[in-house]
């Protein structure tokens, strides 16, 4: 699994479509940068959605796969800076992606996109409808929990101070078509800054997504920001080609 930084940069402000046998990015959201300092911690959860529907594969040697994620980075798409992005991933052939999950389950792993490529932990199966909790903190440590049990973690060097938090869903078309990703919600999203920024919540940009009624709110003058949920609607990857 890998997230292309050029594609990610385009996906920040609009849905992006690419040629066959490539990546398609769908809906998501992003925040940043803070006025001063950096993002020091992000926590969030997701109840895994139903797996993609209508996916087709013409050649099993070139498998289709779909990922959904929130990540943090120093820049808006500069490949020289790492993107720390624990991944939820699904494929019609889970074993082709190194996961033992069933056809109706997702896989999850701590993962970082670096200038040298994706650095990730082994995928762990996620039971259908399970609640998955994520944490990313400086110096960059990722942890993933299912039902309060730690299932994946990874520590990476910090290339530069973290300025942006991104969310996206993406699909690698492989030899077939990605189909449609059912809707889902990121919940209990909390972002901690190294310095208070009373206007940080106003940097929220939604790409086809919807946030809880008041978006991101702060109760401590701008150092800690929280949103109850950001909802991602059904995303028809095939229609983006």
**Of 126, 160, 8, which Cα lies nearest the Cα of 76?**
8
Q: How confident is the model at residue 208 (pLDDT cuts 50, 70, 90)?
A: very high
- Cβ density class 36-62: b for 16+ within 10 Å, e for less: ebbbbbbbbbbebbebbeebebeeeee
Q: What is the pLDDT of residues 145-174, one digit of tens each?
A: 999 999 999 999 898 999 999 999 999 988
Q: Within 13 A of 221's CA, how many CA atoms are on the CB side?
A: 3
- Dihedral, CA atoms, 77, 62, 46, 26, nearest 10 degrees? 50
Q: How large is the average pLDDT for residues 118-144?
A: 94
What is the pLDDT, as a whole number, of residue 5? 45
pTM over 0.85, yes/no: yes
Q: What is the pLDDT of residues 173-190, one digit of tens each?
A: 888 889 999 999 999 999
Find the length of the chain.
Answer: 241
What is the pLDDT, as a whole number, of residue 18? 39
For the chain, list the strands marked E by DSSP: 23-31, 39-47, 65-73, 83-84, 87-90, 106-109, 111-114, 117-120, 124-126, 131-137, 141-146, 149-155, 164-172, 180-181, 184-193, 205-207, 210-211, 217-218, 224-232, 235-236
- Other Cβ atoms closer than 10 A to 175: 15
Does the domain at 5-240 match CATH 2.60.40? Answer given as no
Three-state secondary structure call for residue 60: coil
Q: Is the pLDDT of residue 232 over 90?
A: yes
What is the pLDDT, as a whole number, of residue 176? 87
Spatial distance between the Cα atoms of 223 and 77, rounded to a whole number of angstroms: 25
Q: What is the pLDDT of residues 20-76, one digit of tens each?
A: 457 888 999 999 999 999 999 999 999 999 999 999 998 888 889 999 999 999 988
Spatial distance between the Cα atoms of 92 and 88, rounded to a whole number of angstroms: 14
Spatial distance between the Cα atoms of 144 and 207, rounded to a whole number of angstroms: 25
pLDDT: which is higher, 238 or 85: 85
Dig out the tokens for 105 from the structure.
């389950």
Q: Is the pLDDT of residue 125 over 50?
A: yes
């Amino acid at each position: 699994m890998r997230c292309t930084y050029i594609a990610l940069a385009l996906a920040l402000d609009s849905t992006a479509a690419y040629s066959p046998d490539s990546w398609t990015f769908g809906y998501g959201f992003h925040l940043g940068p803070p006025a001063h300092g950096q993002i020091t911690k992000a926590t969030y959860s997701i109840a895994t959605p139903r797996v993609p529907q209508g996916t087709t594969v013409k050649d099993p040697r070139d498998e289709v796969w779909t990922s959904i994620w929130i990540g943090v980075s120093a820049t808006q798409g500069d490949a020289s800076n790492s993107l720390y992005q624990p991944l939820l991933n699904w494929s019609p052939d889970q074993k082709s992606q190194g996961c033992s999950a069933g056809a109706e389950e997702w896989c999850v792993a701590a993962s970082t996109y670096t200038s040298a490529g994706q650095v990730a932990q082994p995928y762990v199966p996620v039971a259908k409808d399970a609640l998955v909790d994520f944490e990313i903190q400086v110096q960059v440590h990722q942890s993933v929990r299912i039902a309060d049990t730690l299932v994946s973690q990874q520590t990476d060097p910090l290339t530069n101070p973290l300025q942006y938090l991104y969310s996206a869903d993406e699909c690698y078309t492989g030899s077939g078509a990605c189909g449609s990703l059912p809707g889902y919600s990121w919940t209990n999203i909390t972002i901690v800054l190294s310095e208070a920024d009373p206007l940080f919540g106003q940097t929220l940009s939604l790409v086809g997504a919807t946030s809880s009624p008041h978006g991101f709110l702060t109760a401590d003058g701008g150092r800690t920001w929280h949103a109850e949920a950001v909802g991602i609607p059904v995303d028809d990857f095939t229609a983006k080609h």
